Amino acid sequence: MTLKQTIYMALAVVCLVIGVHQSIVAGLIGSYWIFMLSVIFLMLFRMDKAKPKQ
């Protein structure tokens, strides 16, 4: 796992935890964008992981 992949995974987990907290406090509609950030970071993690090594 490279440093970039570690950062993507850490940001995804942080956004997920913050999203869960905000959904409890403000509701799901108010925290939807935080969950989408988490999904974006997971997609970036997967996309970086799928690159073939040269």
CA distances from 12 to 15, 25, 27, 43, 54 (A): 5, 20, 20, 9, 27
Longest Cα separation, the chain: 47
What is the model's pLDDT at position 50?
76
**CA distance linking residue 42 with residue 35, whole number of Å:** 11
The model's pTM is 0.85
Confidence of residue 9 (pLDDT cuts 50, 70, 90): very high
Confidence of residue 49 (pLDDT cuts 50, 70, 90): confident
